[in-house]
Structure 1
Amino acid sequence: MVYIGIDIAKLKHFASVVSSDGKVIVKPFSFENSHQGFMKLLEEIENFQDPLIGLESTGHYAENLIQFLYERNYRIAVINPIQTDSLRDSNIRKTKTDKIDTMLIVQCLMLKKYSLVSSKNIDMIKLRRLSRFRLEMIQQQTRLKTQLTACLDIVFPELACFFKGNLHLKVSYALLEKYSSAKAIRSARIDGLTNLLYNNSHGRYNQEKALQLKKLAKESVALDNPAIELQIQCLIKQLHLYQKQINDIDISIMTLMEIINSPILTIPGVGYTLGAMIISEIDNIKKFSNPSKLLAFAGLDPVVKQSGNFQSESLKISKRGSTYLRYAIYRVAFLIIYNNETFHNYYLDKRSQGKNHRVALGHVCNKLVRIIFKILTDDIPFNLS
């Protein structure tokens, strides 16, 4: 067996080749994160029969190299950085350099502390990229909505009441695209205003509603500010674009989720997007030997504060590990208490013990993680009535 350890960086990687008896066959060498660099790596390793290539799972810098090697039928092992850190700490000098790290990675390979990359892992990389990007798009969209609300507080503060507190509807966006202030609505023809509201609300807003809106605009305390009207029109266009892009991402996520066919979708309240975020952040459930380790990876494990005879009565979660996984589990926990009787009763039981909503939801998250661990480990559907 020949082991190849690769230390990943942004611009330049380091690799070394070691035999199964620990003899260094190829001393650590550098190669660039480019096609030319990847070809240099192939030249160095192409004469070795069925080598095992190891690298750390340190962010996105390794994704290109993993796919490049996987497409050429190399066996690739991904190593948790915690494993290499523990080996480094066990050394007396605890030295960290790119060249030394390649040898630590080889040691992890020899100790079999890794998980092999499969076609499913490649799909997971794509899914994780899409899921994280989707969440970022949602957050940016939310910021735009906040800006839009702030603008309307100046040029038509009463409009929110007309739409019952929800300005972010198809009908309200259509209205603001054409009439971006109380002044513009006051000047609008009633027939044109009626048609616009009616056609964009499936008939819920008729001529009577149009007349109410006109009256509201005439009595408004709004300021006349053309600059803000222009800002509103730009914000509406950006919001439409964001929504279209999010829809495109959703289609790509759904396609990958149908290929992967994970039992995560059988959990009540879990759709394609939340399910994709959960399984892509976990990646390989076999990395976790028990539910507690998965709980810690999500940063949902409690932080115990104890000193001498003192022990804190209130425990906070660590919030380490994957922020995205923690977000998705919280979202599913919130949904599942309304979609599953067992979880609903469990939540109510915690509330009856005097725990507030947030603490009770934390207990639901804990229970949910154990369920997720079980169904992903055994590849079985959710079955908890």
Structure 2
Amino acid sequence: MNNTLTAALFIGIDVSSKSNYVYGMDFFGNKLLSFQTSNNNPGAEVIAHEILQCLKKNSLTHLNIAMESTSFYSWHIANFLSCHEELLWFKPKVYCLNPKVIANYKKTFIDIDKTDPKDAMVISDFARVGKITTTPWKVSQYIALQRLTRCRLHIMENITREKSYILSNIFLKFSELAVMDKSDRPFSNKFGATSSAVLTEFMSTEEIANTDISQLVDFLVDKSKNRFKDPMATAKILKRAARDSYRLDKSLYNPLNAAIAASFNCIKALEKEVKTLDKAIERAVKVLQTHEFECLCSIYGIGPVFAAGITAEIGDITKFNNQASLAKYSGLTWRKKQSGRFTAEDTYLTKTGNKYLRYYILEAAGSILRFNREYNDYYHKKYNEALIHKHKRALALTGRKLIRLIFALLSKNQLYTMNDDADKAINS
């Protein structure tokens, strides 16, 4: 039997916003610790002191600490215990575990209560039986960059939500504009400056329909800064759409205009913040000067922001054994559905991994399509093969292909060059 395991203390911590419940056992499952303390610096000092006393009292030489990755509440305690000077003598390994894994393991205990002490005991036992497959916690040098890239995704999600919301109000005011086919639309960007001006500065669709064509052309030229190739044709499309749209009671136009204007203002403000964050991300990643960032930027189509987002979430590539484990971490894997001789063709993306990494991988994959013929051809091949969800499925598969390239480049510390010799070296 491994002497390291028999001489180890296994700690499980149930983390919450205000308190931490600590449970400790030895390799044979004997209870050695059980107490609760506050989730702050004094409370962390108490945890470290009690663990030290337990280690010395029971002549244990190694320390394994496990806790659920509970949002950001577990970050401080994990960082504190992994860096505590006195605990370093016992070679501490701190693990932040996926709550889903612990929830499934808890089901193996028959008729167990849902309490903090029981939850901490289950986490401790999970560590004791050797079920942990993740790498130990490391003080992340990427944490500052990660805060920026995650904040950027948060704002992008808000922009998407606001754009989805405004569409309902646009349909109520200008029904035809909201449902026109892409090829027939007067504006390439429904949320652009010209579209915003038309929707907010004209009181109603009747006003657009009754406006003189030359005046409407001048309006479009002014708001678009003369970017329309054929402003007369655009004006005609706009007038026709206005004539074909539903009419509303006049009392509805003022409230709708105010709501649409508020949404456009929110979108504009959020997009401005995204640009500010992009600059901050570029500054932050230059301070790190990591080879991972340089390797990713060598892939034509991946700019500083996407490269920074991927770098911040992957961190040290050596913690992944292969490209498959990196794909699983990002949630870009598919569950098999098989029973007897039946194997389902329609499989679902797991999406159980790191959603931030998955977002930046897929954004980068979409960007690469414009510059890399191999990836563009692969995307369209998968697009044509899919029966449903064509774009989403093709993009996810392209992202999975990109993960193989990213793993190869980072693990070999190699820059990407678009030639056959480099591709053979990467795939070898």
TM norm structure 2: 0.67
Query: Which deviates more, 139-148 or 78-87?
Result: 78-87
1:57–1:279 CA distance, 2 compared to 1 (3 A): farther
In structure 1, the residue matched to 2:151 is 130
Partner Cα distance (1:219, 1:93) in 2: 66
In structure 2, the residue matched to 1:149 is 170
In structure 2, the residue matched to 1:59 is 71
Contact in 2 for aligned 1:342/1:384 (Cα 8 Å): no
Partner Cα distance (1:114, 1:340) in 2: 34
In structure 2, the residue matched to 1:319 is 350
1:157–1:2 CA distance, 2 compared to 1 (3 A): closer
1:144–1:81 CA distance, 2 compared to 1 (3 A): closer
In structure 2, the residue matched to 1:8 is 15
Query: Which deviates more, 152-161 or 235-244?
Result: 152-161
Equivalent runs, 1:271-290 vs 2, <5 Å: 271-290=303-322
Give a deviation string over 1:168-218, Cα, whole Å, max 9, x none: 212332454443434566899999988865554233369975995899399
Query: Which deviates more, 15-24 or 57-66?
Result: 15-24
Report the CA distance between 1:327 and its aligned residue. Answer: 4.1
Partner Cα distance (1:69, 1:345) in 2: 49
1:113–1:119 CA distance, 2 compared to 1 (3 A): closer
Contact in 2 for aligned 1:78/1:115 (Cα 8 Å): yes
Partner Cα distance (1:31, 1:113) in 2: 26
Report the CA distance between 1:126 and its aligned residue. Answer: 1.7
Aligned-partner SS, 2:243: coil
Partner Cα distance (2:81, 2:211) in 1: 63
Contact in 1 for aligned 2:12/2:120 (Cα 8 Å): no
Give a deviation string over 1:11-33, Cα, whole Å, max 9, x none: 321235679999977x2221233
Equivalent runs, 1:220-299 vs 2, <5 Å: 220=243, 222-223=247-248, 224=250, 225-260=253-288, 261=290, 262=293, 263-299=295-331
In structure 2, the residue matched to 1:40 is 43
Report the CA distance between 1:39 and its aligned residue. Answer: 1.0
1:350–1:207 CA distance, 2 compared to 1 (3 A): closer
Report the CA distance between 1:340 and its aligned residue. Answer: 1.5
1:277–1:369 CA distance, 2 compared to 1 (3 A): same
Give a deviation string over 1:223-278, Cα, whole Å, max 9, x none: 44322222222222222222223333333333333344423333332234443443
Contact in 2 for aligned 1:7/1:15 (Cα 8 Å): yes
Partner Cα distance (1:333, 1:232) in 2: 33
Partner Cα distance (1:307, 1:158) in 2: 43
Partner Cα distance (1:366, 1:311) in 2: 25
Partner Cα distance (1:345, 1:156) in 2: 33
Contact in 1 for aligned 2:217/2:235 (Cα 8 Å): no
Report the CA distance between 1:159 and its aligned residue. Answer: 11
In structure 2, the residue matched to 1:120 is 141
Partner Cα distance (2:142, 2:37) in 1: 24
Equivalent runs, 1:1-385 vs 2, <5 Å: 5-16=12-23, 27-33=33-39, 37-45=40-48, 48=52, 54-66=66-78, 77-81=94-98, 85=102, 97-101=118-122, 103-104=124-125, 107=128, 114-123=135-144, 125-127=146-148, 129-153=150-174, 163-164=186-187, 166-182=189-205, 197-204=220-227, 212=235, 216=239, 220=243, 222-223=247-248, 224=250, 225-260=253-288, 261=290, 262=293, 263-308=295-340, 310-312=341-343, 314-322=345-353, 323-347=355-379, 361-385=395-419
Give a deviation string over 1:338-380, Cα, whole Å, max 9, x none: 321333344466679x566556555433322211222233343
Partner Cα distance (1:214, 1:103) in 2: 67
Contact in 2 for aligned 1:183/1:217 (Cα 8 Å): no
1:51–1:233 CA distance, 2 compared to 1 (3 A): same
Alpha-carbon RMSD across the aligned residues, in angstroms, is 4.9
Contact in 2 for aligned 1:337/1:344 (Cα 8 Å): yes
Query: Which deviates more, 12-21 or 125-134?
Result: 12-21
Q: Read off the aligned partner of 1:371 and give its amino acid letter.
A: L
1:39–1:371 CA distance, 2 compared to 1 (3 A): same
Report the CA distance between 1:4 and its aligned residue. Answer: 5.6
Aligned-partner SS, 1:77: strand
Contact in 1 for aligned 2:169/2:256 (Cα 8 Å): no
Partner Cα distance (2:84, 2:236) in 1: 65
Q: Read off the aligned partner of 2:96 and give its amino acid letter.
A: I
1:70–1:171 CA distance, 2 compared to 1 (3 A): farther
Aligned-partner SS, 1:376: helix
Task: State the aligned residue count.
Answer: 379
1:311–1:257 CA distance, 2 compared to 1 (3 A): farther
1:94–1:253 CA distance, 2 compared to 1 (3 A): farther
Partner Cα distance (2:175, 2:103) in 1: 58
Q: Read off the aligned partner of 2:401 and give its amino acid letter.
A: K
Give a deviation string over 1:16-71, Cα, whole Å, max 9, x none: 5679999977x2221233xxx43122144259599876533343321344466689
Q: Read off the aligned partner of 2:301 and give its amino acid letter.
A: G
Contact in 2 for aligned 1:57/1:80 (Cα 8 Å): yes
Q: Read off the aligned partner of 2:22 and give its amino acid letter.
A: A
Contact in 2 for aligned 1:350/1:360 (Cα 8 Å): yes
Contact in 2 for aligned 1:67/1:122 (Cα 8 Å): no
Contact in 2 for aligned 1:253/1:273 (Cα 8 Å): yes
